[in-house]
Amino acid sequence: MNLNENRGRKLYGSKSGDFAQREIKIMGFTRKGIESRISKKIDEFLFKRGFSKSGIGGYDKKTNNDFLRISFVVNTVSDIKGNFVIGYSFSLRINEIEEIWEKYRTILGEERRPLADTIGFGRAVINPSSNKYPEHRFAKGGGEFIKEEEDLFKYIDEFKQEYEELMLPFIEKVKDIKWLDSIINTEIENISSKTQYISNIGFWYKRIIIAKLANNQDYEVIYKWIRNRFQKGYEESGNEKYKSIVTVLDNVYFDLNAIDLI
């Protein structure tokens, strides 16, 4: 996936360079201090919009049809621009897509794995101008250096504005099955490493599910290409994992063919 590197990570206080073994305190700031300030400024804003807290830096919103997660990450860095970098990312799970294949997770030995996101994005996807440091490990994709408290409050204010004006309209766009199909099924022989935004978990099943729901005319061809890919892998290697994937592909294909689309 070609996502913001921080997408989905929720751990504050990641360290780098000379700071790996000691607490950083700049202008009264510590990692925990930043965490506390974010919580105080963001909690009320997101709680009023139906979110609940999910660990450190994470906020979840569930409906019957989907699941939205926003994650804030703070990294400790050594840079003249500041000693912390803050960033946020967001991901969306669309139950209509994921539930079709997830009922076969036991066949794949993944029943204990967290439920899959469908798609995820970094801040710069909805606000390209925020990508000020595209070469920086932590700041690329919309991260911001924090040198003093004013920098943090400015970033939080920008997030609130982006949530209302950019993120919400964008989320409605990406829920469109035709749009998802245009991302994941750009070509018959598409693979996850060439696909932006779509979660790797369940990628192959997502391809045929989205193709079917989008009335993609190449649905059958996509299914056969994916199935042959893993069937050949099993025959050549004897790897039981490939065999399990083929079994789930066939089960999903059977279920999809029972769906009547208008």
Q: What is the pLDDT of residues 78-98, one digit of tens each?
A: 777 778 999 999 999 999 999
DSSP 192: G
Residues 77 and 202 in one domain: no
What share of the chain has pLDDT > 90, as a percent? 70
Q: Are residues 213 and 98 in the same domain?
A: no
Pair (168, 193) in one structural domain: no
pLDDT of residue 103: 94
Confidence check: pLDDT of 27 > 70 = no
Provide long-range contacts, Cβ within 8 A and 24+ apart, for 186-191.
188/218, 188/221, 188/222, 188/225, 189/225
Residues in the chain: 262
| 262 falls within a domain | no
Please, which pLDDT band fits residue 262 given cuts at 50, 70 and 90? low
Q: Which amino acid is at 1?
A: M
Q: What is the pLDDT of residue 8?
A: 37
Say what the pLDDT of residue 14 is.
43
Determine, yes or no, domain membership for 12.
no
Over residues 42-67, the mean pLDDT reads 92
> Of 174, 196, 219, which marks where a domain is finished?
174
46 pLDDT more than 50: yes
Average pLDDT over residues 134-146: 92
Structurally, the chain folds into a number of domains equal to: 2
Provide the percentage of residues in the chain whose pLDDT is more than 70. 89
Last residue of a domain, one of 156, 174, 192: 174
Write the pLDDT tens digit of every residue in 189-240: 999 988 989 999 999 999 999 999 999 999 999 999 999 999 999 999 999 9
pLDDT tens figures, 3-23: 443 433 343 344 444 433 334
For 224, the domain range is: 177-256
